[in-house]
Copies of this chain bind each other. A is one copy, B any other.
Amino acid sequence: MTMGVPMSTTNSLTADDLGSAAQRERRKRILDATYDLARDGGFDAVQMRAVADSAEVALGTLYRYFPSKIHLLVSALAREFERNEALFRKMEIPGDTAAERVIFVMKRTTRGLQGDPKLTEALTRAFMFADASVATEIHTVGMLLTSMLTRAMHPDDDHEPTDQDVAIARVIGDVWLSALVAWVTGRSTAAETGAHMETAVGLLLRD
């Protein structure tokens, strides 16, 4: 698996290589359809034929844009994270300590997810099931999460986070993901999820 420059023809269309307006439009329709189906019925309801029908593209076209159901769902997740991260980037994050601000960000994000449990289930499942071929999309999500957390730790834009900041952010991200998986799969309640995250942040960010 080489890491060369992606070919712009004959390959699946990525977020970067957007193609024509018609292609951008198709891509959006597909992601919207995915989002709607996932919100209403979760992972199982996102059936490739249903997505294709709902987005009014042929099955083969769907597969040209997203080479698998997992790519499709992780791309939808990345789009949601981008929206979320943009929101936090624009707002002032409340809290006097790093721990408080981080907890604010996580709770806010988690609450958003828990408001759409089926959607969250679909996106989380896809994320956990993704293999190396989805590395690009996964990496996008990971960067956005780390960036959100380090910004919450240091709201002053002007310096880069330290290695320790990034390490802490990654651990928090890990805990968050595990908690999300436990919640999504019905193994813990929303309240337990929140409490566990608070505990973890408390352990990691004792000033």
Q: How many copies does the complex hold?
A: 2
The residue in chain B whose Cβ has the minimal distance to the Cβ of A174 is B178
Within 8 A of B (CB), among A106-129: 125, 128-129
Contact size class for A? Answer: 20 to 34
Is B129 a contact partner of A186 (Cβ separation < 8 A)?
no
Within 8 A of B (CB), among A163-207: 167-168, 170-171, 173-175, 177-179, 181, 185-187, 196, 199-200, 203-204
Is A171 a contact partner of B167 (Cβ separation < 8 A)?
no
Docked Cα-Cα span, A30 to B130, in Å, equals 27
Interface residues of A (CB under 8 A from B): 125, 128-132, 134-135, 138-139, 167-168, 170-171, 173-175, 177-179, 181, 185-187, 196, 199-200, 203-204
